[in-house]
Amino acid sequence: MQHSDMTAKIAKGQGFIAALDQSGGSTPKALKGYGIDESAYSGDDEMFALIHQMRSRVITSPAFTGAKVLGAILFEKTMDGTVDGKPTPTTLLDRGVIPFIKIDKGLEDEANGVQLMKPMPELSALLTRAKGLGVFGTKERSVVNLANREGIAAVVKQQFEVGQQVLAHGLMPIIEPEVNIKSPERAQADQILLEEILKQLDALPEGQQVMLKLSIPAKAGLFDPLVDHPKVLRVVALSGGFSRTEACAELAKNRGMIASFSRALLNDLRHQMSDDQFNASLGQAIDEIYDASVDKVPA
């Protein structure tokens, strides 16, 4: 698939982006949810081998194809690994699923109501390697906990600065300033975030585009100006702690936003399932998330 074909599919395709990017800190929780307790492995190597087996099972499932899954966000180790004897990005592309890579190295401690991204000293090398493996884009996450304009402005500025590095390597950045859905100031934070993102978008050079990954807003339709912005390729939504049922119901109220769910996609899968059970459960989750991404309802 050529880069232009991938761009067109992400921009206009019917479906959603799967988030398969749990990293070091979140992997034990992901494995536990999958039915593998920490007593079943010793050390990071065994842990990452088990999570890779889970992701491989997802990626090779008959339910996981480009018909409903437009793209998949990978953890670095998953990108560098193999599935079905081929590099993971190649296996995804063979299934019509466009590969992305999570590039952030975690979060700084909270200041001004937000958590900025930690430094990424090896980012250029990672981007070069990802491009060489056929990866289309990246994802980088920060967190907004409170409606503090100074903090939110700093988060968005940092995100767009990293996005410029990504664009310079010929990759598409997914900018992810996540608003904590449990924040007591969630609606106000959403509004400030919208305003700060619009400022940064307007400052982007002509011809450049980014993607946005945002928490589903407290007020349905709030992010319509981002959906319609010519410098935004696509707006995707994270589930942010909502159950799949809740996340799908809220997402369906927001025109133009498609899902990029992790827990809400994988939550019902278990290591002990037979292949038929696993594929049926994954298929049901994919169908529900696809419907919420494609079939919108009045708010």
Question: What b-and-e string marks burial along 38-69, b requiring 16 or more CB atoms within 10 Å of the CB?
Answer: eeebeeeeebbebbbebbbbbbebebbebebb
Total count of domains within the chain: 1
Known catalytic residues are 176, 213
Domain harbouring 91, CATH code: 3.20.20.70
Residue 237 lies in a domain: yes
pTM of this structure: 0.96
The one-digit pLDDT tens for each residue of the chain (299 residues) are 899 999 999 999 999 999 999 776 778 888 999 999 999 999 989 999 999 999 999 999 999 999 999 999 999 999 999 999 999 999 999 999 999 999 999 999 999 999 999 999 999 999 999 999 999 999 999 999 999 999 999 999 999 999 999 999 999 999 999 999 999 999 999 999 999 999 999 999 999 999 999 999 999 999 999 999 999 999 999 999 999 999 999 999 999 999 999 999 999 999 999 999 999 999 999 999 999 999 999 97
**DSSP code string of 188-253:** HHHHHHHHHHHHHHHHSPTT--EEEEEEPPSSTTTTHHHHT-TTEEEEEEE-TT--HHHHHHHHTT
Residue 299 resides in a domain: no
- Domain span including residue 93: 3-294
- Residue 130 in any domain: the answer is yes
Task: Specify the pairing of strand 114-115 against strand 137-144.
Answer: antiparallel
Residue 190 belongs to a domain: yes
Residue 118, C-beta contacts closer than 8 angstroms, at least 6 positions apart: 104, 105, 106, 107, 108
